[in-house]
Amino acid sequence: MSAKHPGTATRWSLCEDARMTNRPAHYLSDPDGMFHPTENARSRWGDDMLNGPAVVSLAACNLEQRYGLPDFLPSRLTVDLFKAARRVPTSVRSRLVRDGHRIRNSECEIVQGETIVARATLVQYRLSEPPPGAEWACDTAFAPPPDLQPHVFFIGSDDAGWSPVGAEHQNTSRKRVYHSPIDVVAGEDITPFVRSVVVAEATSMVSNLGTKGIGYINGDLTVALSRLPNSEYIGVQGDSHWVCDGVSVGTGTLFDDAGPFGTGLVTAIANPAAQIDFGKPGAVPKLSL
């Protein structure tokens, strides 16, 4: 995913083709290794800002493409969001930190101009046989919405059921999200790992969506996986939400068709000046093809 990465020149051609096949994506790439945000990358916090899924998915995609191996599971990704990323050409710098027999560590930086807006670290574990014996597992369940539409962002809450209308879930009950994320870069199919990261970013929503909307902006995301998902649609359900003095901590469990497979964790800081009220017009950007 840079000018030196094999196949970059072809990707720009694919991006041009992708615009004619109606496949939505967060970015277009060019032969110089720059990523150009599309309308789908626009944030609810502001028209000139990138949304969380666009930032974390670019980091996940880069690290998986460059350093992923078939015998290793991308088990933990942590993305620190240093400052608001803008809708400007963006680049990625990455490196392999440790190439171990059982553990691989890599990291990348999301760069705009001369500014690092995010940094991500990826831990991969070699797949192996489990140890003997049985262990504790929490008792949890997840029921997806009955009617699905491609890439529609479904929100669920105990008080209101399933609906893509965010205003219907501005309550204090437990929340969940279910959807199939769009591609990160036009012309490149999203992978199961990156799909998990994008859905896990909604841990912030299922944690912090309250009666007046969302008033916390997350400063990080950690995704921990025990396996890769085996379905296109993935859900995340809120597990805990603790707040004090303008600081929020939230966790959620990731689900696919086979059941739970991972955890999302976010910390966030109060941002009431830019409160997102889903009842207001234009609060939810429309998907652009």
pLDDT of residue 47: 80
Q: What is the pLDDT of residue 13?
A: 37
Interval 194-217: pLDDT, tens: 999 999 999 999 999 999 999 999
Residue 3 has pLDDT above 60, yes or no: no
Look at 56 and 282; give whichever has higher pLDDT: 56
Q: Which carries the bigger pLDDT value, residue 1 or residue 221?
A: 221
- pLDDT of the residue at 4: 35
Identify which of 7, 5, 12, 64 has the alpha carbon closest to the alpha carbon of residue 187: 12
283 confidence band (pLDDT: 50, 70, 90): low
Confidence at residue 125, expressed as pLDDT on a 0 to 100 scale: 98
Mean pLDDT of 157-182: 96
More confident residue, 271 or 281: 271
Domain boundaries, the chain: 8-126+143-274
Place of tokens 């140890």: 131
Superfamily name and number for 8-126+143-274 = Acyl-CoA thioesterase, double hotdog domain (2.40.160.210)
In this predicted structure, what is the pLDDT of residue 150?
84
How far apart are the C-alpha atoms of 130 and 132, rounded to whole Å? 7
* Percent residues over pLDDT 90 in the chain: 81
In this prediction, residue 17 carries a pLDDT of 44
Say whether pLDDT at 6 is over 60: no
Partners of 256 in the β-ladder: 259
Write the pLDDT tens digit of every residue in 35-48: 999 999 998 878 88
Q: What is the pTM of this model?
A: 0.90
pLDDT of residue 289: 58
Confidence of residue 111 (pLDDT cuts 50, 70, 90): very high
pLDDT exceeds 90 at position 159: yes
